[in-house]
């Protein structure tokens, strides 16, 4: 594949049984690129390997005072020089292309897996590990994909040179043919401890990255409680652990490099000493000695590639293991029902909780446990938890929309039908127009959605901070994750984005928890207007939203225990009243014959 054809239309289905299996699958996906790089590598390294022959020929021509052979040797050196230059350029292009295509394929696989799992990804895999996999691990695996063809070309050429020397001058060739494999295998005992130290370094780096990401995510809270220095001290300690682990790993790889320099040097000294004695005895010619010396010197070059591939594999294998572990995460597979012409519509029903949200109505759900509310929101969106995440209920029970289980629908169809906005939505960097440029039905205009979400002050704040002078609020820029905005402003922009999408079913988890009561009341009114005729489920305990809902469902211990209007539940259900009014006092006992109304 050419780089201009990236990204891949389909990155494929990886073999994620083990890290080694994933590496083999990845290299198998780019056999054409690896073979191309191997051919150019053979041209480059083979030309370098052949250079000693014309050099020895030239030296012998000078000794014999043969101008014709000297001219021939010069022509051969020139031709080999051109081949070396062309081969080096093309093998570099081919190996870098292999690196880019391998990393791109893995990035697409990770992006696809993240899209498939959604927020469940960070519950199954630590955020720091995901960051490590998507950055450093991909680099290391890409390095292995890049170095593989160079190593193969060097290995084939080294074997060819050793065999040729054994036939060219058996007296010295046998010494070289035996010595080169010994040199190549000498570092093998050092690789396991080097790999262990490299693994320890990456583990420490992953912990430091996770600590840093957690600290950045909670920086505002840390500043509020004065905990910056505490977490800074923790990160300093983690950083020092990474430094010490890196030094220990570097020492081992330095030892391997030293061995790769020392042993070939000793072989070169032995060859020169023995060859000089043969030349003095008249057994070999001076030109032959120069040829053999040059060939042995060349053999030091592929040995560097042996060290590179050993180091690349040592780093790539644990990285591939982590990548395979992330890619192996699964969710319930949809697609048992054929792709319908239109997304399903109708009543939304959750068999686990017993929640029923009638079609086309605004249903509010009150749940005393915020974590349980979050799990319910994800389940309503077709993200059933794994059995070990929600042990009380089997994960196989699917939410039903209009009589069709969401798990039986193709995933894209289910997501077009039901959209879930969690309590901590993410705003990507870019302009406001780009933020609201999402797949949508076209029924709700972006400006109507912004108005319904009460974003007028947000637009003013963005315009004041924007460098764009067009006057169009859609051109104003939003920083990464909307960090320049307050929590309430981010929440309202996210709500506007959800309203623009206009799904058949919209599930909102605490959509107004960060706004004031006056703004919350206007959002409640705007939500009812924009979502007319659509099914909306709002998980909240805000009386302002509950009072405007067409029906309210109260959940206790994950089960729907009451369904009515907000005012009716306030009068008839003490537990509901305690949750909504934040009343922690126990209900007074009723005397005999006393009703709740008279009490």
In the predicted structure, residue 340 carries a pLDDT above the cut 90 = no
CA–CA separation, 481 vs 425, rounded Å?
9
**Which residues are within 8 A (CB) of 144 and not within 5 positions of it... i.e. 6 or more apart?**
23, 309, 312, 313, 315, 316
164: helix, coil or strand?
A: helix
Least confident of 96-100, 110-114, 118-122, 135-139: 118-122
In the predicted structure, residue 339 carries a pLDDT above the cut 60 = no
Whether the CB-CB separation of 284 and 272 falls below 8 Å is answered with no
**Which residues are within 8 A (CB) of 505 and not within 5 positions of it... i.e. 6 or more apart?**
348, 357, 380, 401, 417, 418, 419, 534, 535, 536, 537
Q: Where does residue 332 fall: left (phi above 0), alpha (psi -120 to 50 degrees), or beta otherwise?
A: beta
What pLDDT, in 10s, does the model give residues 91-117?
Answer: 999 999 999 999 999 999 998 888 777
Least confident of 92-106, 415-429, 533-547: 415-429
In the predicted structure, residue 341 carries a pLDDT above the cut 70 = no
Percent of the chain with pLDDT over 70: 87
**Which class does domain 348-580 fall in?**
alpha beta
CA–CA separation, 311 vs 250, rounded Å?
11
The per-residue pLDDT for 388 is 43
CA–CA separation, 316 vs 136, rounded Å?
10
In the predicted structure, residue 342 carries a pLDDT above the cut 70 = no
* Residue with more model confidence, 121 or 45: 45
**Predicted TM-score (pTM) of this structure:** 0.66
CA–CA separation, 497 vs 505, rounded Å?
14
CATH 1.20.1560.10 fits 7-327, yes or no: yes
Whether the CB-CB separation of 83 and 60 falls below 8 Å is answered with no
In the predicted structure, residue 169 carries a pLDDT above the cut 50 = yes
The per-residue pLDDT for 145 is 92
Q: How far from the centroid of its chain's Cα atoms is residue 401's Cα?
A: 32
Whether the CB-CB separation of 362 and 550 falls below 8 Å is answered with yes
* Residue with more model confidence, 243 or 478: 243
In the predicted structure, residue 131 carries a pLDDT above the cut 80 = no
In the predicted structure, residue 495 carries a pLDDT above the cut 80 = yes
In the predicted structure, residue 559 carries a pLDDT above the cut 70 = yes
Whether the CB-CB separation of 3 and 97 falls below 8 Å is answered with yes
The CA-CA-CA angle for residues 21, 22, 24, to 5°, reads 65
Count CB-CB contacts under 10 A for residue 456. Answer: 12
pLDDT confidence band for 595 (50 / 70 / 90): very low
What pLDDT, in 10s, does the model give residues 346-382?
Answer: 899 999 999 999 999 999 999 878 778 888 888 888 7
The secondary structure of residue 328, as a DSSP letter, is T
Stretch 539-545: mean pLDDT, rounded? Answer: 92
CA–CA separation, 566 vs 538, rounded Å?
13
The per-residue pLDDT for 363 is 95
In the predicted structure, residue 597 carries a pLDDT above the cut 80 = no
Maximum alpha-carbon separation in the chain? 131
Sorted by where each begins, the domain ranges of the chain are 7-327, 348-580
The per-residue pLDDT for 154 is 87
The per-residue pLDDT for 387 is 44
What pLDDT, in 10s, does the model give residues 516-532?
Answer: 989 999 999 999 899 99
Percent of the chain with pLDDT over 90: 31
CA–CA separation, 57 vs 68, rounded Å?
11
Mean pLDDT over the full length of the chain:
82
The per-residue pLDDT for 450 is 92
Torsion of CA 510, 512, 517, 519, to 10 degrees: -160
Residue ranges with strand state E in 439-550 = 477-478, 505-509, 535-539
Least confident of 174-188, 266-280, 558-572: 174-188
Q: Where does residue 84 fall: left (phi above 0), alpha (psi -120 to 50 degrees), or beta otherwise?
A: alpha
Q: Where does residue 445 fall: left (phi above 0), alpha (psi -120 to 50 degrees), or beta otherwise?
A: beta
Whether the CB-CB separation of 417 and 374 falls below 8 Å is answered with no
The per-residue pLDDT for 453 is 93
Least confident of 19-23, 45-49, 389-393, 545-549: 389-393
What is the pairing mode between strands 559-564 and 551-556?
Answer: antiparallel
Q: Determine phi and psi for 592, rounding to 5 degrees.
A: -60, 130
In the predicted structure, residue 551 carries a pLDDT above the cut 60 = yes
Least confident of 119-133, 388-402, 583-597: 583-597
How would you label 299-334 residue by residue, b for 16+ Cβ within 10 Å and e otherwise?
A: bbebbebbbbbbbbbbbbbbbbbbbbbbbebebbeb
Q: How far from the centroid of its chain's Cα atoms is residue 484's Cα?
A: 26
CA–CA separation, 52 vs 161, rounded Å?
11
pLDDT confidence band for 467 (50 / 70 / 90): low
What is the pairing mode between strands 355-357 and 348-350?
Answer: antiparallel
What pLDDT, in 10s, does the model give residues 281-331?
Answer: 877 777 777 777 777 777 777 777 877 888 888 888 888 998 998 898 876
């Amino acid at each position: 594949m050419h780089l201009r054809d990236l990204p891949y239309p389909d990155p494929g289905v990886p073999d994620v049984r083990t890290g080694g299996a994933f590496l083999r699958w990845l290299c198998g996906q780019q056999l054409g690129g690896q073979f191309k790089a191997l051919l150019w590598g053979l041209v480059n390294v083979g030309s370098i390997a052949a250079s000693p022959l014309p050099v020895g020929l030239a030296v012998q021509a000078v000794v014999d005072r043969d101008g014709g052979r000297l001219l021939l040797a010069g022509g051969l050196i020139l031709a080999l020089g051109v081949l070396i230059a062309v081969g080096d350029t093309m093998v570099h292009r081919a190996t870098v292309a292999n690196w880019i295509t391998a990393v791109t394929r893995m990035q697409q696989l990770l992006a696809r897996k993240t899209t498939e799992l959604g927020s469940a990804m960070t519950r199954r895999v630590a955020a720091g590990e995901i960051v490590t996999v998507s950055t450093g691990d991909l680099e290391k695996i890409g390095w292995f994909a890049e170095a593989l063809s160079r190593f193969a070309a060097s290995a084939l050429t080294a074997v060819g040179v050793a065999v040729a020397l054994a036939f060219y001058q058996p007296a010295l060739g046998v010494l070289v043919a035996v010595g080169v494999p010994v040199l190549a295998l000498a570092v093998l005992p050092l690789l396991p401890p080097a790999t262990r130290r490299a693994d320890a370094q990456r583990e420490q780096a992953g912990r430091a990255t996770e600590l840093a990401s957690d600290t950045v995510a909670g920086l505002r809270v840390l500043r509020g409680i004065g905990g910056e220095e505490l977490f800074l001290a923790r990160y300093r300690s983690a950083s020092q652990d990474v430094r010490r682990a890196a030094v220990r790993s570097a020492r081992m790889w330095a030892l391997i490099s030293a061995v790769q320099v020392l042993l070939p040097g000793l072989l070169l000294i032995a060859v020169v000493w023995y060859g000089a004695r043969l030349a003095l005895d008249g057994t070999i010619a001076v030109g032959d000695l120069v040829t053999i010396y040059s060939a042995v010197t060349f053999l030091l070059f592929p040995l560097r590639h042996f060290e590179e591939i050993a180091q690349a594999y040592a780093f790539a294998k644990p990285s591939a293991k982590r990548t395979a572990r992330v890619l192996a995460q699964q969710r319930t597979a949809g697609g048992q029902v054929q792709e319908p012409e239109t997304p399903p519509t109708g009543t939304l029903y959750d068999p686990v909780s017993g929640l029923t949200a009638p079609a086309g109505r605004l249903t509010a759900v009150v749940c005393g446990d915020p974590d349980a509310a979050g799990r319910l929101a994800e389940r309503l969106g077709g993200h059933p938890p794994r059995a070990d995440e929600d042990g009380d209920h089997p994960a196989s029970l699917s939410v039903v929309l209009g009589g069709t289980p969401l798990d039986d629908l193709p995933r894209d169809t289910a997501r077009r039908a039901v959209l879930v906005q969690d309590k901590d939505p993410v705003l990507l960097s870019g302009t406001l127009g780009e933020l609201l440029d999402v797949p949508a039905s076209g029924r709700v205009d972006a400006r109507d959605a912004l108005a319904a979400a009460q974003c007028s002050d947000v637009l003013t704040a963005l315009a004041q901070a924007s460098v764009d002078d067009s006057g169009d609020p859609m051109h104003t820029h939003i920083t990464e994750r909307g960090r320049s905005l307050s929590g309430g402003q981010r929440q309202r922009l996210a709500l506007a984005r959800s309203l623009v999408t206009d799904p058949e079913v919209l599930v909102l988890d605490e959509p107004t928890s960060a706004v004031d009561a006056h703004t919350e009341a206007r959002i409640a009114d705007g939500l009812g207007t924009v979502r007319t005729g659509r099914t909306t489920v709002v998980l909240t305990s805000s009386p302002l939203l509950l009072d405007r809902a067409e029906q309210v469902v109260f959940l206790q211990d994950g089960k729907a225990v009451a369904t009515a209007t907000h005012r009716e539940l306030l009068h008839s259900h003490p537990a509901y009243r305690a949750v909504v009014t934040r009343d922690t006092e126990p209900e007074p006992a009723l005397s005999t014959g006393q009703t709740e109304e008279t009490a």
